[in-house]
A and B are shown apart, each in its own frame.
Chain A
């Protein structure tokens, strides 16, 4: 129990400049569930909701990964959204410290749609399919 409590304490730490979430889900619980429950069990809620969405087509925002990302990943003062590869990404901030490796963001977007779309735009122009292909190859080489 002591370990558990101290871990929760540790989880609450992390980089100080993480952009805050958009708002509180509710005054009482702050997040979709009480914060201590979310810190320990968020993956169970997401996993449960994942199958409901993919197989049954249930598209509620609560417990959905997209819902988490839309609320928690917000732009910093310069309007820049953090990537999962950066320490100030909400998810990465904890996973890096606790040495948790997840696969979610190999396939799922780590930022809200507007941020992804912004990356796909270069100086106001939508990147063509070929140009984006080249861009991705460069990314892969890094």
Chain B
């Protein structure tokens, strides 16, 4: 079921005042809380809630076949260094080119964890290491992951990677190690920081394609919600009824 805000409680006068103050130039109401941050940025000491559901919209009509800026940006952001063995290197996002044999039309799209509402990886995890955060981001708690790889078997999107070898030089915000399964975190460290964007979407916009839009599916005013309402978006393997957080246009 789609969560909607009860807007009747919003005092329009107060909202206008807040926006006015914010417009004056990023004044802080309290130490660490800045009004110019997006409305969805939460204070660091507050837990995430289901008021948000983070998602991604992929417009395959503008995704370029020869571009892999999103993949490079993801690798840089999360420290996914290749060990020189592509068969077992971690992939949090990858580019796929799908050809329609009848028409010859090639669709290029990025594929990653679809951040399902009903994730099969969570269903099968024997240690509850694979879990769905309140705000809809599906993660692996690597402290409890035993590396059984059931989730890799269960995922219809082949979104997860297993780390076979010891790793070095991990980044502080992206701890990774041997014996654990991992996948796209929807740049959870950036989301919690209030960046309101992911590395892949930023890179795509920087290259001028803007095929990726990150945002809050529960906020009817967010760009992603407006685009989805206007143009629609499909789920890959919608027949599985997983209600994915990543939606695609043009397929």
Interface residues of A (CB under 8 A from B): 50-52, 54-61, 66, 69, 106-109, 112-113, 116-117, 119-120, 129-130, 132-134, 136-137, 139-140
Contacts and interface: CB of A to CB of B under 8 A. Distances in A.
Indicate the member of B170, B180, B189 with the most A CB atoms within 10 Å. B170
B133 A119 contact: no
A59 B139 CA distance: 16
Given A54-B141, A66-B172, 4 more contacts: A56-B47, A57-B134, A109-B170, A132-B169
A107 B176 contact: yes
B193 A59 contact: yes
Contact of A107 (B45, B142, B192): B142
A55 B133 contact: yes
Contact of B84 (A58, A69, A134): A134
Contacts, number: 88
Indicate the member of B44, B134, B166 with the most A CB atoms within 10 Å. B44
B195 to A, nearest CB: 12
A51 B141 CA distance: 9
B17 interface: no
Contacts of A66: 172-173
A112 B47 contact: no
Contacts of A60: 44-45
Contact of B172 (A59, A69, A106): A69
Nearest to A120: B169
B178 interface: yes
B47 A129 contact: no
8 contacts: A54-B143, A55-B131, A59-B44, A109-B169, A117-B171, A129-B82, A136-B169, A137-B83
Contact of B47 (A57, A107, A109): A57
Nearest to A136: B168
A54 B83 CA distance: 27
How would you classify the secondary structure of chain A's contact residues: helix, strand, loop or mixed?
Answer: helix
Contacts of A58: 44-47
B220 interface: no
B135 interface: yes
A56 B82 contact: no
A106 B177 contact: yes
Contacts of A133: 81-84
Given A58-B46, A133-B84, A109 B133 contact: no
A85 to B, nearest CB: 11
B171 A109 contact: yes
Contacts of A139: 168
Interface in B72-123: 75, 81-84
Pairs of residues from A and B, 7 with the lowest C-beta to C-beta distance, nearest first: A107-B177, A56-B47, A57-B48, A133-B84, A107-B175, A109-B172, A59-B44
Nearest to B75: A129
B188 interface: yes
A64 B193 CA distance: 15
Given A55-B133, A57-B135, A107-B177, A113 B81 contact: no
B45 A106 contact: no
Interface string B191-232: 011000000000000000000000000000000000000000
